[in-house]
């Protein structure tokens, strides 16, 4: 079986961009939490975590 060619530099670039996007989302979410009343975001968490 022949293994596919992998461009390590491309993967590094993808990893770096992904990390930036995650940080951006975290900043966005933290700002949302700060400006949203506790009751609203706790209801949202409850809805999102219904399986737990």
- pTM over 0.75? The answer is no
Q: Which helix (H) or strand (E) holds 7?
A: none
Q: Which of 28, 34, 33 minimizes the C-alpha distance to 44?
A: 33
Summarised one tens digit per residue, pLDDT across range 1-52 is 888 898 999 999 999 999 999 999 999 989 988 898 888 877 777 776 655 4
């Amino acid at each position: 079986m022949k293994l596919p060619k992998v461009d390590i530099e491309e993967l590094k670039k993808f990893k770096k961009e992904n990390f930036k996007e995650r940080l951006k989302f975290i900043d966005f979410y933290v700002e949302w939490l700060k400006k949203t009343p506790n009751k609203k975001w706790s209801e949202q968490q409850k809805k999102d975590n219904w399986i737990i």
